[in-house]
Amino acid sequence: MLRSMICLAAALAWLPNANAAGAGKAKAAEQAGVPATSERLLMGLPDGWKLGFKGANKRYILLEYLPAGETVQNWTSLIAVQAFYKLGGKDPKLMINAVAQAAKNYCSKVYYTHPLHEVENGYSTEVITQFCAKNTKTGKGEIASYKIIAGKDRMYLIRKAWQVPPMAGKQAVRDNVERVRPDMRYLARIRLCDLHDDAHACPADMGEKGGAAK
């Protein structure tokens, strides 16, 4: 079961709102190098999951969610959300290439599913799953499904990951395919919208603050 829809703006306390009440947050965000946007990332969390980490710099916002009882230092499953400020409007395939390049630094071997391209609510998206046979930093295998959404103002990267025993070869990857199917369904429900653009309309009951649709 998933909680009611949440949005990235609501999850980050310093992210600016579009109304006057958010002026203080907007100023703090500007000082932190976080540019304002009317885009809202709509996503649900599995029951019992919580925010484990949040941070921002001049390049991106990062949120990491975990099941109750787990931490970012000790986890079995994780949902990470990044919003990159300067990549708005770029081809989401660029992010897939960046993910693949980064994996070379910590995966003993890595395998991928074929990327899936869709246009959702007017935004270009890519979905791909990565099988890291063994993370050389943790000694564990990792399976991560990614959804990249190319917003007008930002590019959004959502990662749903699992830690598993080290995987040996493509057969081990095939043995874990069933684990990925629920993650793909989860990612398919994540949407981006824009409070001020009818071409990327948000739910009708979402106000200026970007509050969740119940």
Tokens of 135: 């993370």
Q: What are the residues facing 117 on neighbouring strands?
A: 126
Half-sphere exposure at residue 114, Cβ-oriented, CA atoms within 13 angstroms: 2
The pLDDT assigned to 129 comes to 93
Cα 63 to Cα 53, 80, 88, 91, distances in angstroms:
6, 6, 18, 22
d(CA 195, CA 212): 12
d(CA 130, CA 140): 14
The pLDDT assigned to 10 comes to 46
Site of tokens 């921002």: 56
The pLDDT assigned to 20 comes to 35
Within 10 angstroms of residue 213's Cβ, the number of other Cβ atoms is 15
95 with 87: CB under 8 angstroms?
yes
d(CA 90, CA 124): 9
The pLDDT assigned to 2 comes to 46
Tokens of 118: 């869709």
The structure's pTM equals: 0.82
Amino acid occupying residue 98:
A
Within 10 angstroms of residue 62's Cβ, the number of other Cβ atoms is 16
d(CA 174, CA 162): 15
Residues in the chain: 214
Which of the residues in the chain have pLDDT under 50?
1-4, 7-32, 210-214
Structural element, H or E, at residue 88: none
Q: Where are the alpha helices (DSSP H) in 90-159?
A: 93-103
Amino acid occupying residue 26:
A
d(CA 142, CA 167): 9
What is the CATH code for 38-192?
3.40.1000.10
Phi/psi class of residue 174: alpha, beta or left (left: φ > 0; alpha: ψ in -120 to 50)? Answer: alpha
